[in-house]
């Protein structure tokens, strides 16, 4: 019973951390990163398809992405999807590939991106704390319904708190790392 509650809490905390890393991957740091295109979907024969599933993505240098679709007929659709996205990059289409030049970020834009990352980190912390709260509530229910001894409940709550502290520290470390990456010139 207690092990199930702990496993479920840890799984939710891990999902919060994974979601944070996904959100951080979508934050532009002034460098070309293929993960930026993961969220962009293109209407491909009526099906919204991620760009990375319909094209090869290369990074010839730190400030350029080259998208080479396997089906040349979707070049226009990919270009349109990138223009409609919030990437803030203007694609150039030469008929066979799309080039995405990433200009260096200004100091002000870097600070905005750090604020955005702070919001993502706080959302992850809240999700971790919510998992702790739900685990503690489940432990209290186990005491009432399943006659779990109160000593076991206290021990399990201490373990849940240790797990929470571990994941909050990982969120903080991931944020610090991303902040340094964004602020790097």
Q: pLDDT (tens digit, 9 = 90+) per residue, 43-87?
A: 888 888 888 888 888 888 878 889 998 888 888 888 888 888 877
CA atoms within a 13 Å half-sphere pointing along the CA-CB vector of 156: 28
Note whether 157 and 139 are within 8 A (CB). Answer: yes
Residues of the chain with CATH 1.10.132.20: 2-25+106-183
Looking at residue 120, what is its pLDDT? Answer: 93
Q: Which neighbouring-strand residues pair with 99? A: 66, 92
Average pLDDT over residues 93-119: 86
Looking at residue 54, what is its pLDDT? Answer: 87
Looking at residue 92, what is its pLDDT? Answer: 87
Short-list 138, 86, 90, CA closest to 113: 86
Helix (H, G, I), strand (E, B) or coil at 90: coil
- Given a cut of 80, whether residue 9 has pLDDT beyond it is yes
Residues of the chain with CATH 3.30.1360.40: 34-101
- Given a cut of 70, whether residue 30 has pLDDT beyond it is no
Note whether 19 and 13 are within 8 A (CB). Answer: no
Q: Percentage of residues in the chain with pLDDT exceeding 70?
A: 97
Residue 15 CB-density burial (10 A; 0-12 exposed, 13-18 middle, 19+ buried): middle
pLDDT band (50, 70, 90) for residue 155: very high
Phi first, then psi, for residue 79 (nearest 5°) are -60, -45
Give 51's contacts (C-beta < 8 A, 6+ positions apart): 37, 38, 40, 41, 42, 57, 67, 78, 81, 82
Residue 8 CB-density burial (10 A; 0-12 exposed, 13-18 middle, 19+ buried): middle
Looking at residue 181, what is its pLDDT? Answer: 85
Residue range 2-25+106-183 forms a domain whose CATH class is: mainly alpha
pTM, to two decimals: 0.71
Phi first, then psi, for residue 60 (nearest 5°) are -65, -30
Q: Percentage of residues in the chain with pLDDT exceeding 90?
A: 32
CA atoms within a 13 Å half-sphere pointing along the CA-CB vector of 123: 15
Short-list 65, 63, 67, CA closest to 31: 63
Average pLDDT over residues 161-172: 95
Q: What's the CATH number for 34-101?
A: 3.30.1360.40
Average pLDDT over residues 144-171: 91
């Amino acid at each position: 019973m207690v092990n199930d509650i702990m496993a479920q809490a840890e799984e939710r905390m891990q999902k919060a951390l994974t979601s944070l890393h996904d959100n951080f991957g979508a934050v532009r740091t002034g460098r070309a990163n293929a993960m930026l295109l993961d969220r962009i979907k293109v209407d491909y024969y009526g099906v919204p398809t991620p760009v990375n599933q319909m094209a090869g993505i290369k990074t010839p240098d730190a400030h350029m992405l080259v998208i080479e679709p396997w089906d040349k007929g979707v070049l226009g659709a990919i270009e349109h999807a990138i223009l409609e996205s919030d990437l803030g990059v203007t694609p150039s289409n030469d008929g066979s590939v799309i080039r995405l030049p990433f200009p260096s970020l200004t100091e002000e834009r870097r600070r905005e991106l750090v604020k955005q990352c702070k919001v993502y980190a706080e959302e992850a912390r809240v999700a971790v704390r919510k998992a702790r709260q739900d685990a503690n509530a489940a432990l209290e229910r186990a005491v009432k319904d399943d006659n779990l001894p109160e000593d076991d409940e206290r021990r399990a709550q201490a373990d849940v708190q240790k797990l929470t502290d571990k994941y909050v520290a990982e969120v903080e470390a991931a944020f610090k790392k991303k902040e340094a990456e964004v602020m790097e010139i």
